[in-house]
């Protein structure tokens, strides 16, 4: 299929310069895709489908209490991540309870850590942080539409188990090589140990965990591809905006389905349109802001503070 020219942007994208630019950049790269015709069909839908107007309106919606802020603010910089953590901490304190209070303390601590970290160049000066997050969302939705395939938890577990077995074998081989004493065998042994360590690091990332891989499917039930698309879009919104956006996810999923990418469920005709309630049912509560490094680091910091206070008091006495 010969690539046509970039479609004329609809009127509702007239003031969405960041979206237009990202769409144009993705269009230029169509020839590099594995299936350019399929990629063009998907990208055209993400540009032209009227449902996308709702998506951009939602991501750029102003905060009713402060029109200079966004209702769904981007969370790309350390400062924004700190703000999101503090907001979640405040929400937990309002709910009350020992567990919520403890988690709120950890989240406040994590927010202070993010606040003092130096910012990187994730937000170029040309666009605002919100613009950058919206561009990234378009790019990720495009890749999800093209590449997402269902992965079962059992398959991921089997791969992790096999990789651990390979790492163990490499270490045994390294031990055999090292026992041969003579150069270059100990050198080869160190190389094998390095590879085994790299595999161990990869296994930690690949290990099935609903918190960092909500798209993994536990059972072969329903339309697995649709469930995978929804879960990956949910992960994208959580990563970029620190929250799940069910309506946005539903709209983008329906746009992808309009491309004919997900097909029908069990060959029984067109799949039903995704709704925000269906999104919530698929995603569940896996993606929520919760303490990460706080429970480990916070007690160590507090203990060190107490030691320093004792030493200071002794010095002053």
pLDDT at 28: 94
Exposed, middle or buried: residue 89 (CB in 10 Å: 0-12, 13-18, 19+)?
Answer: buried
pLDDT at 265: 43
- Residues 184-219 pLDDT 10s: 888 888 888 899 888 888 777 666 565 556 656 666
If we measure between CA atoms, which residue out of 114, 59, 23 comes closest to residue 249? 59
Q: Does the pLDDT value for residue 261 go beyond 60?
A: no
If we measure between CA atoms, which residue out of 252, 271, 260 comes closest to residue 47? 252
Mean of pLDDT over the chain: 83
Give dist(CA 287, CA 280) in Å, integer: 11
* More confident: 214 or 265: 214
Would you give the DSSP letter of residue 122? Answer: S
Predicted confidence band of residue 264 (pLDDT cuts 50, 70, 90)? very low
pLDDT at 2: 58
* More confident: 219 or 301: 301
Predicted confidence band of residue 313 (pLDDT cuts 50, 70, 90)? confident
pLDDT at 272: 66
Percent of the chain at pLDDT exceeding 70: 84
pLDDT at 148: 78
Q: For 291-302, what is the mean pLDDT?
A: 80
Say which residue the tokens 């045994």 belong to.
172
List the beta bridge partners of residue 70.
62
- Residues 20-55 pLDDT 10s: 999 999 999 999 999 999 999 999 999 999 999 999
Give dist(CA 88, CA 11) in Å, integer: 37
- Top mean-pLDDT range of 43-52, 201-210, 274-283, 307-316: 43-52
Would you give the DSSP letter of residue 227? Answer: H
Predicted confidence band of residue 262 (pLDDT cuts 50, 70, 90)? very low
The total of other beta-carbon atoms located within 10 Å of residue 248's CB is: 26
Give dist(CA 219, CA 282) in Å, integer: 12
pLDDT at 237: 93
Q: Where are the domains positioned within the chain?
A: 11-76+122-148+221-280, 153-206
- Residues 83-141 pLDDT 10s: 999 998 999 999 999 999 998 998 999 899 988 888 877 777 778 999 999 999 999 99
The angle at the Cα of 45, spanning 54 to 281, to the nearest 5 degrees, equals: 55
**61, two tokens:** 């919606």
- Residues 52-83 pLDDT 10s: 999 999 999 988 776 568 999 999 999 999 99
């Amino acid at each position: 299929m010969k690539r046509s020219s970039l479609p004329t942007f609809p009127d509702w994208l007239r003031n969405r310069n960041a979206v237009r630019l990202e769409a144009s950049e993705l269009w230029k790269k169509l020839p590099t895709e594995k299936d350019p015709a399929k990629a063009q069909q998907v990208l055209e839908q993400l540009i032209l489908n009227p449902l996308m107007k709702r998506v951009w309106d939602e991501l750029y919606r102003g905060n009713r209490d402060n029109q200079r802020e966004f209702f769904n603010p981007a969370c790309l910089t350390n400062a924004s991540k700190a703000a999101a953590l503090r907001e979640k901490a405040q929400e937990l304190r309002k709910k009350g309870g020992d567990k919520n209070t403890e988690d709120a303390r950890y989240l406040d601590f994590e927010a202070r850590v993010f606040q003092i970290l130096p910012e990187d160049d994730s937000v170029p000066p040309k666009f605002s942080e919100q613009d950058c997050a919206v561009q990234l969302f378009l790019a990720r939705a495009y890749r999800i539409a093209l590449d997402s395939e269902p992965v079962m938890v059992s398959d991921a577990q089997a791969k992790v188990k096999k990789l651990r077995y390979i790492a163990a074998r490499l270490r045994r081989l390294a031990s055999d090589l090292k026992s041969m004493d003579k150069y270059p065998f100990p050198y080869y042994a160190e190389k094998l140990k390095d590879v085994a360590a790299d595999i161990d690091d990869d296994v930690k990332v690949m290990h099935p965990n609903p918190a960092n891989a909500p798209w993994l499917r536990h059972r072969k039930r329903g339309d697995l591809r649709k469930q995978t698309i929804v879960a990956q879009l949910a992960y994208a919104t959580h990563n970029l905006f620190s929250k799940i956006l069910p309506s946005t996810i539903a709209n983008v999923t329906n746009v992808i389905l309009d491309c004919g990418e997900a097909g029908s469920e069990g060959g029984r005709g067109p799949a039903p349109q995704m709704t925000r309630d269906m999104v919530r049912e698929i995603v569940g509560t896996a993606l929520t802001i919760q303490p990460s490094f706080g429970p480990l680091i916070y007690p160590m910091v507090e203990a060190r503070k107490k030691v320093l206070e004792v030493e200071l008091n002794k010095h002053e006495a």
